Amino acid sequence: MFFMRIIAIANQKGGVGKTTLSFHLSVLLAERNFNILVIDMDPQGNLTYTFQVELPETAFSYNLFEREDPIPFTVEIKGHKLNIIGSDIRLSRFEADTRFENFFKLKKYLKDKEYDFVVIDTPPSLGLFTANSLVAADYVIIPVDLSVYSVFGLQDLLETLEKIGEYAGKSPKILGIVIMGQLRRTIMGKTLSKGLEDEYRDLILGELSYSVKLKEAVALGKPVWDHSPRNKVGREFKSILEKIIERVEVG
């Protein structure tokens, strides 16, 4: 029996680490020799930029909203293949076209595909592109930072998931929450992290340390465990991602 697992990384709050997490999850899955498709649904195109490849027109996600299906472009990272549907600002042209059928474009596109995993990076909004991703996904991972806005964002996202369940008949299972690195653990940060733990204990997959090496790695298009092999953030990241893969494989 063939199982394709579709994972969306979402939080409408900006800058919480969605793209960083999408990139590292994709690379780890490729390193484990899974056949994977990475989709950038953010008009900012940050994930696409991180892969540092020039994609043909056909490999952009805006094609989903035009007549043609996108055609993934295959890149090789250290001998491991990765299929990419990228994004750039052209996707934003479709943002306001919220006809009912437009919410199902990604789900429809993925219906007959045969990858082991699909990883979808979403923009910092709960608009059409995030909705498409959540409607298509089997699982959602929610990166958060430790700010009140992030906690509000989490509550809004959980409500959105409920609505998607109502309208689309099914909503993705929440795989977990990842607390992305904080520069300094302020009292406020500690209070928030305790609040998150009290409220969502079973959902918290782990917490990443703050590391400039992680920023550098992403800028260089490398996973942090390659860019800075001795840095603990690489080990923390891998252990969180392994938990994610394990939870998905269990189902």
Ligand X SMILES: Nc1ncnc2c1ncn2[C@@H]1O[C@H](COP(=O)(O)OP(=O)(O)OP(=O)(O)O)[C@@H](O)[C@H]1O
Binding site for ligand X (CB under 6 A): 14-20, 42, 44, 46, 124, 180-181, 208, 210-211, 214-215, 218
Residue in 19, 61, 182, 231 binding Mg ion, rule: CB under 5 A = 19
Count of CB atoms situated within 10 Å of the CB of 99: 8
Q: Which does 78 bind (CB under 5 to 8 A by kind): Mg ion, ligand X, none?
A: none
226, exposed or middle or buried, with CB in 10 Å at 0-12, 13-18, 19+?
A: middle
Considering the complex, what minimum distance in angstroms separates the CB of residue 130 from ligand X?
11
Output 49 or 104, the one with its CB closest to ligand X: 49
Amino acid at 197: E
Choices 18-26, 30-38, 150-158, 175-183 (CB under 5 A): range interacting with Mg ion = 18-26
Which of ligand X, Mg ion, none does residue 215 bind (CB under 5 to 8 Å by kind)? ligand X
18 binds Mg ion (CB under 5 A): yes
Q: How far apart are CA 59 and CA 184, in angstroms?
A: 40
The closest residue (CB) to ligand X is 181
d(CA 55, CA 59): 6
Decide: 140 and 175 in contact? Cβ < 8 Å. yes
Q: Which does 218 bind (CB under 5 to 8 A by kind): ligand X, Mg ion, none?
A: ligand X
Which is closer to Mg ion, CB of 13 or CB of 105? 13
The answer to whether the CB of 73 falls within 8 A of the CB of 117 is no
Residue closer to ligand X by CB (options 72, 181) is 181
Q: What angle do CA 220, 29, 242 make, to 5 degrees?
A: 105
Instruction: Please tell me the distance from the alpha carbon of residue 211 to that of residue 33, in angstroms, as a whole number.
Output: 27
Closest approach of Mg ion to the CB of residue 33, in Å: 26
- Whole-angstrom Cα distance, residue 217 to residue 231? 12
If binding is defined by CB under 5 A, does position 46 make contact with Mg ion?
Answer: yes
Q: For binding to Mg ion (CB under 5 A), which residues are involved? A: 18-19, 46
